[in-house]
Structure 1
Amino acid sequence: MDASNTTRTGRRARWAVAGMFLMNGFLTGSWAPQIPVFLERLGISEFTLGLLILLFGLGAVTAMPWSGYLMARHGSRKVLLGFAIVAAFSLLAVALAPNVALAAVALFLFGGLIGGMDVAMNANAVVVERHMSRAIMSSSHAFWSLGGFFGGGAGGLIIQSYGHVTHAIGVTVVAIAILAVAARSVIADKPHAEHHHRKFVLPKSPTVYLIGLMALFSMIPEGAVLDWGALYLQKERGTDLATAGFAFGLFAGAMALMRFLGDGVRNRFGAVATLRVSSLIAAAGMLVAGLATPPWLVIAAFAVAGIGIANVVPIIFSAGGNQPGMASSTGMSIVTTMGYSGILLAPSAIGFVAERTGFSPIFVVLSGLLVVVCLMGNLVRTADFDHGKSE
């Protein structure tokens, strides 16, 4: 009876945390088709937009450590639900911002809420994994990508037909609905406040930082497609807003599909081989996206890049959390912080450069970063479950 209850609780908790990933991805993906309208209605340049997007990233990076601090005192469940409740309204606040100053505040808070929720939901997924004694991280990230697919894919169509405010209200309603269904089954864990008072010492091993660099190089392209893909298709490939919204939508959809399949692929071929092939597929997709002219070929190339990137990041994160002689939390925190800076902070720099060069050469350069990830692939061998047993 106890085993049956444990299994039932684990299944509910597994779907609840999947709902949190879905909600977070949906909010993030819904921001992508809002960006061209955001640029036009505020009458700002791409340089100013880059600064505002930087504030989104700074908000997330600022909130991430606080999320960890709060979880040490209150557990991941309370922190996750707290961030999620407020985050549901965050895109609406951005859409309603009437001027640059208020938009800057709204974007900083939007980034902070998304980032804080992100850390908490990943931590809660680890709690579920321990409860169920099996991995769910890759498929959890698949639900994030699925949310991004629906948010980005449908957003452009809704904005073009009904306006950006109606779209933001709809996003808020959907986010609240997901949260209402998932909240009651989010699993609780015990706080570990005693660990918070211990002095944090950076590890001396260079390997974990090299793995963090791999995460950075893998997530910069993801951030570039999220924040600039729609604008690239509109400005440089001459497509309409509805079509431009599919840039991140299909990218995220392809990622979701491959992440649902990712655990099986990785178990069969191993972490190193999976990462190397995946990173080369991603590099090819980004290269074609930068060089192609027809809009739908560009969108298809972004989808191919999504297929490649899908399992690269989970493998890198897993390797970071399984470094020999290092606490899992220490390795994971370093790799995730370096990686998320690629998706949160790098897009602002991309905006500055694109104002002078256009986006096409930038996507070509990003394909080169993914080739570097392939060449560093041997560093993720610790991501294999049998690695520790073989030594």
Structure 2
Amino acid sequence: MENLTTNPNYGRNARIAANTLFFLCGISFASWASRIPDVKEFLQLSDAALGSVLFAMPIGSLTALPVSGIIIEKFGSRNITVFSLVFYVIALPILGLAQVPYVLAIGLFIFGFGSDMLNISMNVQAVNVEKILKRSIMSSFHAVFSTGFMIGAALGGLIAKQGISPFAHLTTISIIDILMGIVVYRFLVAQDQKSSESQPLFALPDKGLMLLGIIAFCGMLSEGAMADWSVLYYKQVLNNPHGYATAGFTAFSILMVVGRVFGDKIVHTIGLRKTLLINCLIVFLGMSIALIFQHPVAVVIGFGITGLGLSTIVPLIYSEAGHSKTMSAGVALAAITTVGMAGFLIGPVLIGYLSEFSSLRIALSSIMLLGLLGAFLTSKIR
């Protein structure tokens, strides 16, 4: 790496730059999620049709998986982080301008491809910063992402309520993101820490890690479903097209941030197993309130509680997997990420089809069941 001793602020500046990227990633994704109801209504899509179109995003993400590591290795995470940020947000105007479903699908494919590459390269930058500062701060980066997500959800609701078009909204976010990416580029870590060992890009987890992976799958499937469908559900319950339709999603995002800020302290006090168990039960409780009591206030409270429960499930599992005694940290995390990300990608699509054949309320009840499944699996952790 660069000679850090000549610049005492190098690590601090690199951390701020990486945090900025996590923030931009969060606010961009939430901005799109907050306008899904408007795009759905404009294109006159059924729930199943929307679910099918949304599937273009995970296809883009899966396409990026086999090439991201190679590209980052060749060109460095600093270059690829900013490149992928630009690639990621260029899709936003396409999503807002789409006049037909196939154009929306193309935009979502680009959005998914850029999102996955940005996620991987950002986390490499986060690891670089940890090495410079010589302490673990990974959870703080994800808390910043959640903060951006929360702000994006809140702003999205306010902007939609003012009647501003998705195209104008998403294009503005895209321009801001690109300008900020250019500004922080010079402060990112220029040279990635190289591993002396040759490790595979993908690996299947052993039985212990598979158990953690399935819990991560439950958590990430729930997160994906909430991101894409919570606004639509709240809008149905609100029964007011001019109301603040993202209130429930905003509450979900706020409590997600709160949980991640205090998650490390809680697990240090009561341990990983008890923390995960409580989190899963909180998810069940939150979704029960939101789905049983179909009142706007109950939905906001229920979604907020659900966000609190989901907040630290995946970060805690990542931390545990990183201390695996049977696999190296890199291979273990790659395995857990592969299993968990599958849930995040298929969740929105699954909810769409379940909603089409039943109702969105019944489809979202699957998150309640996932909370119970996660609690059961957690009880099996040694």
TM-score calculated relative to the size of structure 1: 0.90
C-alpha separation in 2, matches of 1:302 and 1:199: 39
C-alpha separation in 2, matches of 1:232 and 1:53: 17
* Mean CA deviation greater in 263-272 or 122-131: 263-272
Aligned: 1:185 with 2:200? no
Percent same amino acid among aligned pairs?
Answer: 28
* Aligned twin of 1:234: 235
| Residues 120-146 of structure 1: CA deviation (Å, up to 9, x unaligned) | 112221221122121111111111111
C-alpha separation in 1, matches of 2:45 and 2:143: 34
| Contact persistence 1:63–1:115 (CA under 8 A) | yes
| Contact persistence 1:146–1:256 (CA under 8 A) | yes
* Aligned twin of 2:42: 41
Question: 2:304 is matched by which residue type in structure 1?
Answer: A
Question: 2:203 is matched by which residue type in structure 1?
Answer: L
* Mean CA deviation greater in 139-148 or 266-275: 266-275
Match of 2:171 among 158, 169, 172: 169
C-alpha separation in 2, matches of 1:66 and 1:204: 21
Q: 1:184 to 1:47 in 2, by over 3 A?
A: same
C-alpha separation in 2, matches of 1:273 and 1:189: 39
* Mean CA deviation greater in 325-334 or 229-238: 229-238
C-alpha separation in 1, matches of 2:358 and 2:330: 40
| Residues 190-219 of structure 1: CA deviation (Å, up to 9, x unaligned) | 3759977x6667356222222111111011
Q: 1:204 to 1:347 in 2, by over 3 A?
A: closer
Unaligned runs of 5+ in 2: none
1:207-218 alignment, distance < 5 Å: 207-218=208-219
C-alpha separation in 2, matches of 1:204 and 1:115: 21
Question: 1:182 is matched by which residue type in structure 2?
Answer: V
SS at match of 1:32: helix
* Aligned twin of 1:81: 82
C-alpha separation in 1, matches of 2:230 and 2:119: 22
Q: 1:104 to 1:195 in 2, by over 3 A?
A: farther
| Contact persistence 2:77–2:121 (CA under 8 A) | yes
Residue 239 of structure 1 and its aligned partner are, at CA, apart by 3.8
C-alpha separation in 1, matches of 2:310 and 2:110: 28
Question: 1:227 is matched by which residue type in structure 2?
Answer: D
SS at match of 2:327: coil
* Aligned twin of 2:107: 106
* Mean CA deviation greater in 170-179 or 155-164: 170-179
Residue 315 of structure 1 and its aligned partner are, at CA, apart by 0.3
* Mean CA deviation greater in 7-16 or 134-143: 7-16
Question: 2:157 is matched by which residue type in structure 1?
Answer: G
* Aligned twin of 1:9: 10
SS at match of 1:98: coil
* Aligned twin of 2:29: 28
1:1-391 alignment, distance < 5 Å: 8-161=9-162, 162-190=164-192, 202-203=203-204, 205-240=206-241, 242-377=243-378
C-alpha separation in 2, matches of 1:331 and 1:270: 21
C-alpha separation in 2, matches of 1:191 and 1:135: 15
Alignment RMSD:
2.3
TM-score calculated relative to the size of structure 2: 0.92
* Mean CA deviation greater in 178-187 or 3-12: 3-12
Residue 169 of structure 1 and its aligned partner are, at CA, apart by 2.2
SS at match of 1:318: helix
Question: 1:166 is matched by which residue type in structure 2?
Answer: A
Q: 1:200 to 1:158 in 2, by over 3 A?
A: closer
Question: 2:150 is matched by which residue type in structure 1?
Answer: F
